[in-house]
Amino acid sequence: MTEDVQPKVSIHVISYNQELYIAEAIQSAVSQDYRNLEVVISDDASSDRTFSIIRELQSVHPARIVALRNEANVGITRNSNRALRACSGDYIAFLGGDDVLLPGKISAQVEWFQRDAGRVLCGHKTEVFYEDASRPPKLDREACREGVGPEQIIRHGAPFCGSAVMVRASAIPDHGFDEAIPIASDLMFWIDVLASGVAFGYVDGVYARYRRHSNNISSRHADMLNDVEKTYRMVAAKYPVFHDLCLDCIIRHVVYFGGVRALTAGDKLLARQRFLRVLREKPFFFKALLRLLQTL
């Protein structure tokens, strides 16, 4: 593709108090080998040097970086929508302010989209690395998935790390991320994007790195599980064809997983309560039975 016919790509970045990581994240975005590219960064009123670093990099790459800053902290989902509204690309890729894109990501995903107008969401494998080097890097998911419509994502959960995803802008709902879900709104967003029965898939290769550190949002397990349960309840109401599946997923993915988390944390009473709830709904869920025995 030459520059004058290249679809425009926006890389959507949100940041909050990530002064240690934001420069690497932005550099990994602006250095992609794709020319028709903008990097849109919305900072959620950071109290450290994050926004100063963003402005410094914007001065170096004024044609590529759009820098926004909230006057007050509005939270992840509302900040995501502010960045989304500023994106003007035909395709939108997503990047956390503490993650890293690898070379060739944007070109590979655009090429995948261009082969079929029915494709609206694309992912890839992601390497998880630990900031403190306490563990060796690993793949976030061993296998990617592809399909049509949102059923697989509802049934199995997110198929890709957030920074692996690119979407066709025309498929994004007018409301963007649903602000009724304050933190983990990605799942609902992807379901809405795929709701009309369009296709998702992936490109082969590892094209991003997800950083594990003490301030990861994903470490807020209770908040994340609450948002996932809220998502399933909202999907059940919004898309009745998936009502029963969503209720089943609440038991399997939220209640059961919450029990596993409680057991890992040493809270056997809470874990026992959750596994008993699972077994009341799913008497033959043998993994929950085995876990229940561990709480005795």
For residue 222, name the pLDDT band (cuts at 50, 70, 90).
confident
pLDDT for 159: 87
Please report the pLDDT score of residue 70 as a whole number: 97
- pLDDT of 218 higher than 90: no
99-110 confidence digits (pLDDT tens) = 999 999 999 999
Give me the pLDDT at residue 266, please: 94
Question: Tell me, what's the pLDDT at 293?
Answer: 95
| pLDDT digits 0-9 by tens, 44-64 | 999 999 999 999 999 999 999
Mean pLDDT along residues 155-164: 92
Beta bridge partners of 69: 43
Question: What local confidence, expressed as pLDDT, does residue 140 receive?
Answer: 82
Asked if residues 255 and 223 have their Cβ atoms less than 8 Å apart, the reply is no
Euclidean distance between CA atoms 261 and 275, whole angstroms: 11
Q: Tell me the whole-structure pTM to 2 decimals.
A: 0.92
Q: Would you give the DSSP letter of residue 100? A: E
CA atoms of 38 and 122, how far apart (whole Å): 19
Query: Would you state the structure tokens that stand for residue 92, as one six-digit string?
Result: 């939108």
The average confidence (pLDDT) of the chain is 94
Instruction: Say whether pLDDT at 220 is over 80.
Output: no
Q: How confident is the model at residue 223 (pLDDT cuts 50, 70, 90)?
A: confident
pLDDT at residue 141, rounded to an integer? 76
Q: How many CA atoms lie within 13 A of 118 on its CB side?
A: 8
pLDDT, one tens digit per residue, over 252-293 is: 999 999 999 999 999 999 999 999 999 999 999 999 999 999
Q: What is the pLDDT of residues 63-94, one digit of tens each?
A: 999 999 999 999 999 999 999 999 999 999 99
Q: Quickly state the pLDDT bin for 131 (edges 50, 70, 90).
A: confident
Domains by residue range for the chain, with CATH: 9-216 (3.90.550.10), 239-294 (no CATH)
Give the number of other Cβ atoms within 10 Å of residue 255's Cβ: 21
Q: Residue 133: what pLDDT?
A: 82
- pLDDT at position 206, please? 96
